[in-house]
Structure 1
Amino acid sequence: MNHNINEEKTENPTEHRIKKFKTRGKTRYPRELNSLLILLIGLINLWWYKNLILSSFMNIMFHSFSFNRNIISNNDVITFNIFIFLQELFFILFPFLVTLLFIIIIPPILFSGIKFNFKSLDFNFKKLNLFRGLKKIFSFEIAIEFFKIILKLFIIISITLWYLYFSFPEMLTLIHESFISSLFHGCNMIFHCCFLVILGLVPIVSFDILLQQFKHYKNLKMTHQEVKDEFREKEGNPNIKARIRQEMKAIIRRRMISDVPKSDVVITNPIHYSVALKYDDKRMNAPKVIAKGIGETAIKIQNIAFQYNISTISAPSLARSLYRYSEIGQYIPSPLYKAVAEVLAWVWKVKKWKKEGGVFPEKPKNIIVPSELIFRGERKKND
């Protein structure tokens, strides 16, 4: 099918297309927002635990530079000190790392849900195409990303230099403070500078969020032809569905024909309709329809009945009503019990005649079918 490549995407995306984009890992969640959240939460976390972190590091440094004679005489002391150092370092950084992990995982899940995209791990020779790589390098999207990187570097450098310029006199006063006081004071200045830098990045991140939303929605938009193709893909090709239905009907007919030899009687129209019934008074509450058909199928049922010496009776009204108001494998409708009982009584007499001989039993005439179940029928072939 040839699609117009210049056709505009004017149709809103369907649920199927949105789910397909999610499975491919294409979401509206911007990476810049994730980076900003990591920086902001990480900085707040460091600020919150700054006293614990600084005091713990001071304690580690104090014990690391203290001399102990046991270190010379016992090598196990070194291993123990290293283990203690790593343990203290883990307890210092554990809250910080847990918070960062939470920020990295939770926001994308809230935006896009949990989706594992393993298709990106597939080996594809197209990724090794040099011309395709150059095309991506010089694309408009790469130009926008490059511009954002330059702008972020400019903002970070500008804010940092501006803060250092105005805080330079305050930094000079650190030499007059005690070691612990200058350490905490200096950390506060670093935190303030980092916080200003993060605030400076907010406009870029806001622009990136709007751009990402626009690009995602634009990519989701569909052409009229894509909507039609998706509907055809979802509903199935009509030709294929018709073929499947035809095959299913053929299978049902073959199974039905194979059950005809099990029947007790075949009621005919006499040509256009045939219905095969079976009744076992010990196992069944009423007679069951095990085969029915019109046209060629009706004739085939009659031929099989003749081949297997199954009683056949012509009762046009009853045959049409059974064909119309009963289903294969189901009991016959209760209003037809009396009419079918007359036929089965005749069948029982025929079986007795086959064993004992004598005069062939006369077929029942004028079988009455209730007026509400009378069906004129159609003379046509089965589908």
Structure 2
Amino acid sequence: MAGERTEAPTPKRLKDARQKGNVAKSEEVVTIGVLFLAITAMKMLGPELWWDMRDLLHEGLGNPTSQELTRESAFQIGKESFARALMALLPLLGLLAAGAVALNLAQTGLLLSGEPLKPKMNRVNPGAGLKRLVSLDGLMRLGKSLFKFITVSLVVYFTLKGQMEEVSALSQYSIGEGGRRLVSLGFDIAFKTVGVLFLMAIADYAWQRRRFIKQLMMTREELKQEMKENDGDPQIKAAIRRRRQQLMNRMIAAVKTADVVVTNPTHFAVALKYDPLTMQAPIVVAKGQDFLAKRIREVAMKNGVPVLEEPPLARALHAAVAIGNPVPANLFHAVAEVLAWVYALRRKQPLARNRFAGAGGNP
């Protein structure tokens, strides 16, 4: 059907979307990944963090200061306590921040775009907000929330059910041992819960990726329009090809009127024409490389134009002189010898021809 989005997005369309900050990304991967890091960090750093906080609280409450408690002194004490608490929490906070950045980069790569920060009226439009609530995205968010709730409930239930005897026996242990066993049980529940939720996060990223690609799907008309913009209008390209062909035909026709064709012998060919009455210097009327050089030689030989193998001169002329331009002064002498050989041929003077051939030509 016309207007149906059936074509996969092109690299240009994906690049344009990325520049606008529109990429496939799952917030669940970041949230649950950071939660996993937090639980792991608390298991590893928890005891040390606990003792740091204990020492801070003990020093604050157990060591009364002789300093008069004023507004300024209270502020100073609070400031020092906050600084120590922050230093103790810094490894944990740094790990969580680094994890959040890494999880975002893993999904989107390095992305710098100010487009998402621009204000959009539909974000504050109540009607648009209501549509988002009852849309597929809203249903997906609701489904993920229910899944999280059910997952956490089931994990807690089955974990506690399997360790009910140990939970019932906690009262028999000392406060320290009971607390240690309770913390261990809490970490067990947390790791199991996060493991299941992370599987949901991976599935969510796959769905977000599929939805992102589907949103960028193109109609055939859009694809054709992009091809025109990238490659140019086919009519213009056809006109350029016709123009090139006309120039090529004109150049090949000029070979028929040339005085001589200097070759490499196979890679380059340059056709020269000189009229002492109307030209101050010989002019390059045609030149080409490889296949075109072969075509120039064939046309020249077919029309009786002398063909001379002089590789250094052919390469120099091909590189230095554009079609329709005169030969530069530094090549006058070499071109003059070639023309002298041509005029000798026309006058049927084989001695001049043999003399030039001995100097390096190969007619």
Normalised by the length of structure 1, the TM-score is 0.58
Q: How does 1:68-79 map to 2 (within 5 A)?
A: 68=64, 70-72=66-68, 78=74
Candidates 204, 208, 225, aligned match of 1:208: 204
1:73 and 1:124, CA in 2 relative to 1: closer, same or farther beyond 3 A? closer
Amino acid of the residue matched to residue 93 of structure 2?
L
Give distance in 2, aligned partners of 1:90 and 1:191.
24
**In structure 2, which of residues 20, 29, 32 is the aligned counterpart of residue 24 of structure 1?**
20
Q: Give unmatched runs, 5+ long, in structure 2.
A: 241-275, 288-320, 347-363
SS at match of 1:34: helix
1:165-180 correspondence runs (5 A): 170-171=166-167, 173-174=169-170, 177-180=173-176
Aligned-residue sequence identity (percent) comes to 18
Match of 1:53 in 2: 49
Aligned to 1:157: 153
- Residue 228 of structure 1 corresponds to 224
SS at match of 2:62: coil
What code does the residue aligned with 2:103 have?
Answer: P
Q: 1:26 to 1:123 in 2, by over 3 A?
A: closer
| Distance verdict in 2 for CA 1:75–1:26, change over 3 Å | closer
Contact 1:33-1:205 at 8 Å conserved across structures:
yes
TM-superposed deviation, 1:48: 0.5
CA distance in 2, matches of 1:158, 1:78: 47
CA distance in 2, matches of 1:113, 1:243: 43
1:293 paired residue number: none
Q: Does 2:117 correspond to 1:121? A: yes
**1:327 and 2:325 matched:** no
CA distance in 1 between partners of 2:172 and 2:72 (Å): 42
Q: Deviations over 1:327-374 (max 9, x none)?
A: 3896526479549x99xxxxxxxxxxxxxxxxxxxxxxxx96999xxx
Deviation at 1:47, TM superposition (A): 0.3
Aligned to 1:64: 60
Distance 1:67 1:113, change over 3 A: closer
Alignment counterpart, residue 137 of structure 2, candidates 119, 141, 148: 141
1:4 maps onto 2:8 in alignment: no
Structure 1 residues 337 and 206: CA distance shift in structure 2, 3 A: closer
Decide which of 40, 56, 59 is 1:44's aligned counterpart.
40
- The answer to whether the aligner puts 1:13 opposite 2:15 as a matched pair is no
Distance (Å, rounded) in 2 between the aligned partners of 1:74 and 1:221: 67
Do the aligned residues in 1 keep the contact of 2:284 with 2:323 (CA within 8 Å)? Answer: no
Q: How many residues align?
A: 275
For 2:185 and 2:5, how far apart are their aligned partners in 1? 54
The 5 Å alignment of 1:87-98 reads: 87-98=83-94
The 8 Å contact of residues 71 and 78 in structure 1, kept in 2 or not, is answered as no
After superposition, the CA RMSD in angstroms is 4.1
SS of 1:49's equivalent in the other structure is helix
CA contact (8 A) 1:25 1:115 kept: yes
Alpha-carbon shift at residue 82 of structure 1 (Å): 3.0
Q: Which residue of 2 aligns with 1:196?
A: 192
More deviation, 146-155/206-215: 206-215
**Aligned match for 2:215, one of 202, 212, 219:** 219
Q: Deviations over 1:40-73 (max 9, x none)?
A: 1110011001110121222222223215251447
Q: Give the Cα separation in 1 of the matches to 2:344 and 2:139.
A: 84
Shift of 1:134: 3.1
Q: Which amino acid aligns with 2:99?
A: I
**1:66 aligned partner, one-letter code:** G
Find the aligned partners of 1:156 and 1:190 in 2 and give their Cα distance. 12
Instruction: Assess, with a 3 A threshold, how the Cα gap between structure 1 residues 51 and 331 changes in structure 2: closer, same or farther.
Output: farther
1:53 partner letter: L
Instruction: Work out the CA distance in 1 between the residues paired with 2:78 and 2:199.
Output: 45
> What code does the residue aligned with 1:121 have?
L
Change (3 A) 1:61 1:173: farther
1:334-353 correspondence to structure 2 within 5 Å: 334=331, 337-338=335-336
8 Å contact 1:159–1:197 — kept in the other structure?
yes
Instruction: Determine if contact 1:70/1:77 at 8 Å carries over to the other structure.
Output: no
Residue identity matched to 1:327 = A
Would the aligned equivalents of 1:22 and 1:112 in 2 still touch at CA under 8 Å? Answer: no
The CA deviation at 1:131 is: 3.8
Higher RCO (CA < 8 A, seq sep 6+): 2
Gaps of 5+ in 1: 245-311, 343-366, 372-383
Change in 2 beyond 3 A, CA 1:51/1:156: same
